[in-house]
Amino acid sequence: FTEGWRARRAWVAADGTPDVDYLARHFGEAKVPVANCDQKHYDSQEKKTYTLQEYIQYWKNARESSEGKKLCLYLKDWHFVP
């Protein structure tokens, strides 16, 4: 069903991982909701708004770093609407 979707080619690197550099170039200024796993707000994680570029930079740094306790942030329920 999704075989013809451009996103399946453009958003995915040759090794099958997300092409975050492509996403940053094309959608980097988009506002995205990011949840902090370490902070609770009532019964759910606290959420803040980042640009997609800011979140991708966090994600790259978190994956590359192995020092100390890392923040646990995740992109939460982003509904991209062009």
End-to-end CA distance of the chain: 21
CB atoms within 10 A of CB 78: 14
Q: Give the pLDDT score at 23.
A: 93
Q: Give the pLDDT score at 51.
A: 95
Q: Give the pLDDT score at 66.
A: 57
Domain spans, the chain: 6-75
- Residues 6+ positions from 34 with CB-CB distance below 8 Å: 47, 48, 49, 50, 55, 73, 74, 75, 76
Q: For the whole model, what pTM was predicted?
A: 0.74
pLDDT at 68 over 60: no
pLDDT tens digits for 28-66?
999 999 988 877 777 777 888 999 999 999 888 876 655
